[in-house]
């Protein structure tokens, strides 16, 4: 009987085709097409989700690296104030005012601090005699100087520092101006 049913449906489809009537849409084929489209949609969604996850991993690694490189910046900024005070104190100690070896010990402490901060990525901004750079220098005063090009750093009032190449504290400088 099943064979006759298939033969009858084929005959009916052929007669309908001859009469100019389109073949009726097979519902099982329509369901397959819908299932295929839905599977493609979920496959695309899975690819997008995997790509988003990969981007999230990369961004997370990049943020962790940023935190590792610059996370200690607030502490270092506070230490720079103490280091400035220490350097000023070292500069005003007369050699004859201290016992031999005492100032050498303080120099050793200063070198140790400098080495420790350098190991963390801290570097001093070289400003003296260089052209004024607003990204690295903060002008605290301008002085007219004959024979000197305008915009040159004449003196450093407070040292500036970079942490891993990024300006942490701008150098405060005196800048030459045109006369």
pLDDT band at 2 (very low <50, low <70, confident <90, very high): very low
Q: What pLDDT score was predicted for residue 27?
A: 67
Residue 82: per-residue pLDDT: 92
DSSP 8-state symbol, 131: B
Which band of pLDDT confidence, cut at 50, 70 and 90, is reported for residue 169?
Answer: very high
Percent of the chain with pLDDT over 70: 84
Average pLDDT, the chain: 83
* Tens-digit pLDDT profile for residues 5-24: 444 445 544 554 554 444 44
| pLDDT on residue 60 | 92
Taking residues 22-31, report their average pLDDT: 65
Tell me the C-alpha distance between 79 and 114, whole Å. 11
Q: How many CA atoms lie within 13 A of 53 on its CB side?
A: 6
CB 173 within 8 A of CB 132: yes
Kindly tell me the sign of the dihedral angle through the C-alpha atoms of 74, 79, 82, 83: negative
- The pLDDT of residue 68: 78
State how far the Cα of 137 lies from the Cα of 151, in Å rounded to an integer: 11
In this prediction, residue 159 has a pLDDT band, given cuts at 50, 70 and 90, of: very high
Half-sphere exposure of 48 (CA within 13 A, CB side): 6
- Place 118 in a pLDDT band, splitting at 50, 70 and 90: very high
As a residue count, the chain comes to 179
> Which carries the bigger pLDDT value, residue 163 or residue 12?
163
pLDDT, one tens digit per residue, over 67-103 is 877 788 888 999 999 999 998 888 888 877 777 788 8
């Amino acid at each position: 009987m099943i064979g006759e049913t298939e033969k009858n449906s084929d005959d009916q489809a052929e007669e309908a085709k001859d009469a100019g009537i389109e073949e009726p849409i097979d519902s099982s084929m329509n369901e397959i097409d819908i299932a295929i489209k839905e599977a493609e949609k979920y496959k695309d969604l899975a690819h997008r989700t995997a790509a988003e996850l990969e981007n999230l991993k990369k961004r997370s690694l990049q943020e962790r690296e940023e935190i590792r490189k610059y996370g200690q910046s607030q502490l270092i900024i506070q230490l720079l104030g103490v280091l400035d005070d220490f350097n000023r104190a070292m500069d005003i100690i007369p050699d004859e005012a201290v016992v031999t070896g005492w100032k050498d010990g303080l120099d050793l402490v200063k070198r140790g601090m400098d080495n420790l901060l350098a190991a963390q990525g801290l570097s001093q901004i070289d400003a003296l005699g260089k052209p004024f750079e607003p990204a690295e220098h903060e002008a605290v005063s301008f002085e007219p100087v004959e024979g000197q090009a305008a915009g040159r750093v004449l003196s450093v009032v407070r040292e500036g520092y970079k942490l891993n190449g990024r300006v942490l504290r701008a150098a405060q400088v005196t800048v030459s101006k045109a006369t």
